[in-house]
Amino acid sequence: MSPSPSPAGPAGPAGPAGPADPVALRLAGVSLTFPGRDEPVVDGLDLDVRTGEFLAVIGPSGSGKTTLLRLAHGLLRPDRGLITAGAEHIVKPSTSRGFVFQSDCLLPWRRIVDNVAFPLELAGAARAAARTKAMELLELTGLAASANQYPAQLSGGMRQRVNLARALAIDPEVLLMDEPFAALDAQTREVLQTELLTIWARDRKTVLFVTHQLDEAVFLADRVVVLQPNPGRVREIVPIALPRPRALEIKRTAEFNGLVDRLWHLIKSDVLAEQLI
């Protein structure tokens, strides 16, 4: 990966990405209509994800958050518009982008270390080298002691840590995360949020993180993209200027709660309309 300290970020590597940061991922005029649907799921969507930034995406159910991630990964192709990562025109998944799903998708018959090593083996790495790298990542995600266990022996929070380690194994430049903590209890979710920030601060991969939780978006992100539905488009992008590193105590501050309120205000009418359908 290529960590890219923000030229505009006065706080250095731990500070937010600034407007002068190069763009890691660009969606320009992107539209997509699923087969059998009359209306596009996203239409004329424009979004720049800056190198090294943590960008959260929120929006009501059905506003196209997962679709946006799948487009960015190259799992879906738009009908119109361009999706690029630097000079690369994204038309298929690539090892420069890692995807973390809501459910863990681990291979139940493989030990944890071998699950993390799996994408490296797929990419052609020798088994021993893949396992060495996998062990490093398990250290990073606090799971070294569980390396020889099987997925069924781990808690949900531990499995999501493995999921993250596995996505990091291929050393992607961009990490695409689709509600990775949604299935976890509130306390585990908060622990994983702080751990994710620690890992992110280490080498500042670009992160595009979809969540339903407004406080999660504010806690993690440099900016929050608010999507509106029918069709999915960017309603607003809210900068989160909270200082880093962030500890959970920040969630009790007036500034934090003011930002959560602002996000709620931006999606409230769409969320209420969705409940009436």
**Under rule CB under 6 A, residue 211 binds ligand ATP:** no
Question: Closest approach of Cβ 193 to ligand ATP, in Å?
Answer: 19
**Binding-site member from 16, 40, 52, 64 for ligand ATP (CB under 6 A):** 64
**Under rule CB under 6 A, residue 73 binds ligand ATP:** no
Q: Which is nearer to ligand ATP, 41 or 184 (CB)?
A: 41
- Of 60-68, 133-141, 145-153, 186-194, which part binds ligand ATP (CB under 6 A)? 60-68
Peptide bond into 231 cis (omega under 30): yes
**Binding-site member from 66, 146, 160, 163 for ligand ATP (CB under 6 A):** 66
237 in helix, strand or coil? strand
Report how far residue 118's alpha carbon sits from residue 125's, in angstroms, rounded to the nearest whole number: 9
- A 10 A CB-CB count for 108 gives 8
Residue reference for tokens 């690539």 = 94
Q: Check if the beta carbon of residue 198 is closer than 8 Å to that of residue 141.
A: no
Question: Closest approach of Cβ 258 to ligand ATP, in Å?
Answer: 24
Question: Closest approach of Cβ 132 to ligand ATP, in Å?
Answer: 36
Alpha-helical regions (H) of the chain: 65-73, 112-122, 127-140, 156-169, 186-203, 214-220, 254-276
- Of 46-54, 65-73, 158-166, 237-245, which part binds ligand ATP (CB under 6 A)? 65-73
Please name the amino acid found at residue 236.
E
- A 10 A CB-CB count for 86 gives 14
Q: What tokens does 161 get?
A: 């840590």
Q: Mask: binding to ligand ATP, 11-40, rule CB under 6 A, as x and -?
A: -----------------------x--x---
**Under rule CB under 6 A, residue 62 binds ligand ATP:** yes
> For binding to ligand ATP (CB under 6 A), which residues are involved?
34, 37, 41, 59, 61-67
